[in-house]
Amino acid sequence: MGTGRNRMIIAVASGKGGTGKTTVAANLARVRGDVTLLDCDVEEPNVHLFISGEPQGEPEVVSLLVPEVDESRCDGCAACSNFCAFKALAVLDKRVLVFAEMCHGCGGCARVCPQGAIREVPKRVGVVETMGADGVTVVQGRLDVGVAMAPPLVRAVKAHIPKTGDAILDAPPGTSCPVVATLRETDFVVLVTEPTPFGLNDLKLAVEVVRELGLPFGVVVNRADSSDDRVATYCREASIPILAEIPDDRRVAEAYSRGELMVDALPEYRPLFEQLYTDIVRLLQNPLIAGVARASCPCFMGGTPMPRGALQGPHC
Ligand code: SF4
Ligand code: SF4
């Protein structure tokens, strides 16, 4: 499947965990082939359970620069702690306390210190590992135990997005900073949800984030069940395209529990993912849709919803 671009970056995200986000990302990568699949869920990477392969090189250690205070120079003026928006510094009795686990590594405190008493030292946050398997290059971040600062590691994983060739990003669940770090500068976001009240609630939160970032997106409904149409109704009313519906099939859950990809264990699902990829490509090949979507294209995000399989509106 050619994209007509040098590179296409697709992020697969969901407002909560357990919706099948990794399933969609990994199966999409399998049907695409010749693609880089990046596991940005650095607190709990699990893509490797479904697509594993030979390690390519040694794990890359990722560090964050955090402040270290030279007490012989510090006069306790508190300019550093007043500057830090993340409460990673406190001054007590003219002594600076550094809470490195809360530091975002912005370097601001070192710059505002009038005494030049702060230097930045590397603090390890995790590793990035690369594996190759059957035409899919898997890159995953693994946050060290006890480390809370995921975004720098997410950015280190994303640094492995190839200059040419497509990339699929498996985002962390939720809508917090690591998710935003994952979604930034991607071309298209697939939001995976399930047709339950919880799924709908978290989908709405995820939609807010993606719209705030101005990214084109569509929805995949996992464990689709015709008895609950609330997600479908919401998508229709919010003019969000539903790109695919994965049936609530017990065999899919069984394949998942064995660590098998759907498209390998149940080849009848291969066309569903091939069509999903094709639809995303078709959207992004059309510069009007890809560009206008950022400004609420009438046929894609802001007006009459498009029926499935007919992703091009009248003026596109
Ligand atoms: S800004 Fe510099 S001198 Fe002032 S409290 Fe912080 S480290 Fe000490
Ligand atoms: S580097 Fe930035 S986030 Fe870290 S302590 Fe200094 S000001 Fe705060």
Q: Whose CA is nearest to atom 4 of ligand 2?
A: 103
Position 190: which residue type?
Answer: V
3-class SS at 85? Answer: coil
Which residues of the chain are modeled with pLDDT < 50? Answer: 1-3, 290-316
Query: Could you tell me if the CB of 42 is within 6 A of ligand 2?
Result: no
How many angstroms separate the alpha carbon of residue 159 from the centre of ligand 2? 23
CATH class name, domain 62-124: alpha beta
Q: Whose CA is nearest to atom 2 of ligand 1?
A: 113
**Which tens digit of pLDDT belongs to each residue from 167-213?**
999 999 999 899 999 999 999 999 999 998 999 999 999 999 999 99
User: Which pLDDT belongs to residue 16?
Assistant: 83
**Residue list, ligand 1 pocket, CB within 6 Å:** 69, 74-80, 91, 96, 113, 115, 117-118
Task: Please give the Cα distance from 311 to 300 (Å, whole number).
Answer: 8
Q: Which of 169, 229, 178 is nearest to 199 (CA)?
A: 229
Q: Which segments of the chain does DSSP mark as H helices, in order? A: 21-32, 79-83, 108-112, 151-158, 177-183, 197-213, 230-237, 250-257, 262-265, 270-285, 287-293
Q: Whose CA is nearest to atom 8 of ligand 1?
A: 74
3-class SS at 203? Answer: helix
User: Which pLDDT belongs to residue 289?
Assistant: 52
User: Which pLDDT belongs to residue 314?
Assistant: 32
The ligand 2 atom nearest the CA atom of 104: 3
pTM, two decimals, is 0.84
User: Which pLDDT belongs to residue 227?
Assistant: 80
Rounded to whole angstroms, what are the CA distances from 228 to 196, 246, 253, 309? Answer: 7, 14, 20, 22
Domain 9-51+134-302: which topology? Rossmann fold (3.40.50)
**Which tens digit of pLDDT belongs to each residue from 44-60?**
999 999 997 889 999 99
Give the ligand at the shortest distance from the Cα of 84. 2
Domain chopping of the chain, boundaries: 9-51+134-302, 62-124
User: Which pLDDT belongs to residue 285?
Assistant: 74
Give the ligand at the shortest distance from the Cα of 116. 1
